[in-house]
Structure formats: structure tokens, C-alpha cells
Chains A and B, each alone.
Chain A
Amino acid sequence: MSRKLIKKRKPNRSVAGDIALYFFLLLVAFVMAFPIIYAVSSALKPLDELFKFPPKIFAQHPTLDNFSDLFVTMGKSWVTFTRYLFNTVFITFVGTAGHLIIASMGAFVLAKYDFPGNKGFFRIVTVAMMFTGMVTQIPNYLILNKLGWIDTYWAIIIPAFASPMGLFLMKQFMEGLPTSLIEAAKIDGANEWKVFSGIVMPNVKPAWMTLIIFSVQGLWNNRASTYIYSEEKKTLVYALQQIQSGGIARTGQGAAVLVVVMIVPIIIFVFSESQILETMASSGLKD
């Protein structure tokens, strides 16, 4: 019996320590999840329960009224709900697809070929991860203005192509691919593009998912309020937040908005967790 235990447990762990830790983790998990649970449950509360005192944490008579009200409100505006949804989906989809292709192409040569400028360029990319987008926002605005892209989708989509995070993760992951795989394909007469699209890309699928989720997160939550001012081009999140700020009568709908906005990135993460973790294993910053 004791032998079996030793086999299963690490020998230098105390049982009391383990129990204390698990209890602590459970407590923290509850604290972390509580605001989200609360947001979901308030979205399900009918209006009279939202203003009840003392307030209940869980909805007594859960209802989807807030969501249907939200669609009614959206339906009444001259720009329809489907238009806002289209804007966000279009921006998110094109931005993510372009980012995936362009960053992977760059990452492929940076990871697998030695050429002058390789190391220097990658170092600049890692430096770019060290400051927020806010720093470059004003010159970016001026550049986009010069290009005539202000108030078009491209003002959000094209800069998203060049996000340094995606290239960094992709390159680190591709370095783990065996070089022999590429050399074998070359001996068989494949050119660089064939190697890239036929051999490398199918083998880095976990990294795809990671790039996709980071890009989708950034674009889905992008309010883009400084770049886009035409009502019919605004993103869903921006439109939803306008509803949210509609005062006390919109409390119920506001809660529904929170849920609609947060549910998409969370669901994508839940379904791609194992692939993302596989990619993040090679995310280390070596020097």
C-alpha cells in the first residue's frame, strides 16, 4: 500500500500542504469566476429583479428578455444589428486571415533560414512587444489619414496584419520543427513556397489556433472609435457599448451586452485550449 502511494505521489510533498493548497485554489477560483458568473446571472434577471434590494446573486426567474430587448433596440436603429455584426465579423475574419498568412511567411524564413538581417529583424520585433499600441497611436492615425484609410475597415485590418506577437509565437514554434523535414522535401524538388504551404503550415496547426485566438481577441474587442466614425461602419462592440451607456432603463440590456461581448473570445479559448498551450510551450524569450 505505502509503496503504491510512493509511486503515485512525489516523495517530497506533505499531505497537509496539498490539502491546504487545493482548498486555497478553490477559493481563488471562486473569486476569479464570481464577477463573470454575476454578469451572466444579471443578464438573465428580469427587470424587477435587477433593482431588488437586497439583491440576489442568482436570478430567481431566469429569462432571456434582456437579450430579446437588446435585439429590439438594435432593430430600431437605422443601422441594423446585422450590419454591425457584419462589420465586426468582416474585420475580425479578414484581419485574422491576413495576419496568419503574412506572419507565418515571415516566421518561416526567420526560423528556418540563415540570412543577413535575420537576427536583427527578430530582435526589433521582440522590442516591439515591449510597448503598447498606445505609444504609436497618434503617428498611426496620421499615417492612416495620409493613406486615406480613416473611416474604412482597412484602418483596423491592415495594422492588425503586422502584430508582433503573432510573428513571435509562430517563429518560436516553427523552430521546434525538425529541419530534416524541410530538407527531405527540398531533395524531392519542392521549392520554398511548396515547402511552406505543403510541409510547414500543416505541421504547425497548434500555432495557427494561437495566432487566431490572439488576433480575434484583439479585433473582436476593438472599438476603433478613433478610426471609424460613420455609424454604418462601427463595430458591434462599439454599438453595444453605446446601448450600455443608455442609463438606468438600459440596465438589463447592458448586462446582456456584457455577455454577448465576452462570450465569443471565451468560447474560442475553451475549444482551442490544448493547442494554445502547446504553442505557448515554445513562447520563451531566449537571449
Chain B
Amino acid sequence: MKEYLQKYFILRKHNMNVAWKKAKNRKMCYLFLAPYAILFTMFYVFPVVASIYYSFTYYNILEPPRFIGLQNYISLFLQDDIFLIGVKNTLMIAIITGPLGYILSFLFAWLINELPRWIRSIAVIVFYAPSIAGNCYVIFSVFFRGDAYGYVNAFLMSVGLIDAPKLWFIDPKYMLPICMLVILWMSLGTGFLSFVAGLQGVDRAQFEAGYMDGIKNRWQELWYITLPNMKPMLMFGAVMTITSSFGVCDVTMALCGYPSTDYAARTIVTHLFDYGFSRFEMGYACAIATILFLMMILCNKAIQSLLRRVGT
């Protein structure tokens, strides 16, 4: 055993030496990377660590942080009903709009792939535009206006489905579904672009080989040839989708108000804003941020291991 350990340490030392020599030879590389690495550490890595640290403290900016152990987490899950509403809403939005938006992104990228070049580029603009159109989504509050003049109310009343106008953004029953609709409208984002580009790059020869091997229709072609070729883009798209669907807050805040009736449209991020920038309870807000962080990372890992099985 001792001998084994000794050997192991000698090997480790040797490896370290090799790495150190390599690093010395590549000083230039570190110089090139340094500006980015420093800023990245400062604004992305360190904040995550700091957030985890502060989540165990009571901190209101004025006084120095005071260590309180797991108290923040205990309060969040056992006493803060509004936080639980936020978690429920965020999960609902993520579970429904996430996969749906992802599938829609791929589906439309795939469908427009065979269009002639110029139609395709127009189609990409039309589908992608909503996700970069700033806060254009507030236009939905005109469509879903609460009085009889709103388009949706007027339409539903003239058809006879409802007999009085619905208060779409005030009645908790309708808030989330409509927000999801708006989020879906905006869901063809970066992942969609990645899919469009990736589909263009699939080797034509493979399709021809596919005809020879008896692939009968577009669905078989999709599963056996296109999807396996697209795996890296599918992974990238998944990351983009998960990140955006767990981070929903702009749409719900703009459409349903902040705070919304009965907190029915509260999400984790809204709750985070509330405690971080309205009440300045930084420790508590950091606990919320840490939970959100863990949810996102775990979800990403799970989805990635799922995607590895595509086409097999």
C-alpha cells in the first residue's frame, strides 16, 4: 500500500512538472487569455461562489453579513408561501414552454430547411424576430385587454364561447397560460439559429446513402440521419432553452404586473428581485439565487444525458 502511494505521488509530481514546463512554454497563451479570464472570474465565477456564501448569512448591506447557517433555506421552504408559488410557477413554465419551445425550434428549422434559399432566409427572419424584438410582447396586453374591446374578448363573445369579458391578466386563472403563450411566441431564439445552421451542414451524401438503404419518408430520414448529425447543436439548443425558461420574469412582470394578483404570476426570479432590490435582504435573495442556480445546472445535466441517446 505504502509503495503504491509513493509511486502515485511520484507520478503526480512528474505530471505536474510536465504541465508546469508546458505552461512556461505557453506564456503567451496565458497573456492572451488573461483579460477575459480575469473579467469572467470576477463577474461569473466569483458571484456564484459569493452567492452561495451569502446564502448562509443575514446581510442587509448596511451591517456586515452575519452567519445564520441554513436559516434562509429553512424559511424559504417552510415559511415563505410566496416563494413556493414562485417555484411552482417557474417549474410549470419551464416544463411546458421549455420542451415545447425546443421542439418548435427544431421543427421549424427542419421544415424551412428544404425551402429555396431566399424564402428560407425570409422565414428565418420572421421566426427569429419575436425573440429579439425588445419588449414588443407588451402588445399582447392589447390583444388580451380585459374589457369587451379587447380582440380576444370581442372574438370569443361574438362566437358565443363566453358571455362576459374575461380579465385575462388580473384573473389568476388565466395569467400563466397566456404568459406561456407569449413565451412560446418568443421561443425561437439562439437555439433555433443553431438548428437552422446545423441542418445546412448535414452531409448530403448521407441522405443519398439513406435512399439506397430504403429510408421511406421524411420522418425516418429525420430520426436515422438528421438527428444523429445534429447532436452537438441539439445540446447547445437545450442549454439555451433551459437557461431562458428558468429565467422567466420580464414577460410575467410586464403583462401581469409586479406584484401580480395573489402572486399568481410570481416566478423565482421575480421573488429574487423583490428580496434583492426592493427589500435589500441580500442573504435571503442569495439563497433564492443559489436554488435557481442548482435547478438550472441539474436540469442541464439531466437533459444532456438524455440527448446523448438520440438516434440510437
Contact = CB atoms under 8 A, between A and B. Distances in A.
B233 interface: yes
Interface string B220-247: 0100000000011101100110111011
B6 interface: no
Which of B35, B47, B232, B296 has the most A CB atoms < 10 Å from its CB?
A: B47
A108 B34 CA distance: 12
A105 B32 contact: yes
A129 interface: yes
Given A115-B22, A281-B201, A265 B297 contact: no
A132 B299 CA distance: 13
Contacts of B246: 132
Interface in B15-41: 19-20, 22-23, 26, 28-30, 32-33, 35-37, 39-40
A33 interface: yes
B183 to A, nearest CB: 13
Interface in B133-157: 133-140, 142-143, 149, 151, 154
Contact of A266 (B114, B132, B216, B235): B132
Contacts of B239: 126, 129-130, 285
Contact of B297 (A113, A131, A137): A131
Given A128-B44, A283-B197, A258 B136 contact: yes
Task: Tell which of A108, A127, A135 has the most Cβ of chain B within 10 Å.
Answer: A135
Interface stretch (A74-82, A84-92, A272-280): A272-280
Contacts of B308: 287
B198 A281 contact: yes
Nearest to B293: A135
A202 interface: no
Interface in B49-83: 50-51, 54, 61
A233 to B, nearest CB: 18
A237 to B, nearest CB: 7
Q: How large is the interface on A (under 10, 10 to 19, 20 to 34, 35 or more residues)?
A: 35 or more
Interface string A242-261: 00100000000000001001
Contact of A105 (B35, B51, B133): B35
Nearest to A167: B36
A17 B185 CA distance: 25
Interface in B254-312: 269, 272, 276-277, 282, 285-286, 289-290, 292-293, 296-297, 300, 304, 308
A101 to B, nearest CB: 8
B8 interface: no
Interface string A1-38: 00000000011111001000100110011001101101
Contact of A159 (B29, B33, B43, B231): B43
Contact of A284 (B142, B233, B296): B233
Contacts of A106: 32-33, 35-37
B5 interface: no
Nearest to A103: B36
Given A115-B23, A138-B285, A262-B135, 19 more contacts: A32-B129, A115-B26, A118-B29, A127-B297, A128-B45, A130-B243, A131-B292, A135-B296, A137-B289, A138-B47, A139-B54, A158-B39, A158-B43, A161-B35, A261-B136, A266-B132, A269-B125, A280-B196, A284-B231
Which A-B residue pairs are the 7 nearest by beta carbons? A284-B232, A132-B247, A106-B36, A136-B47, A139-B47, A280-B197, A162-B39
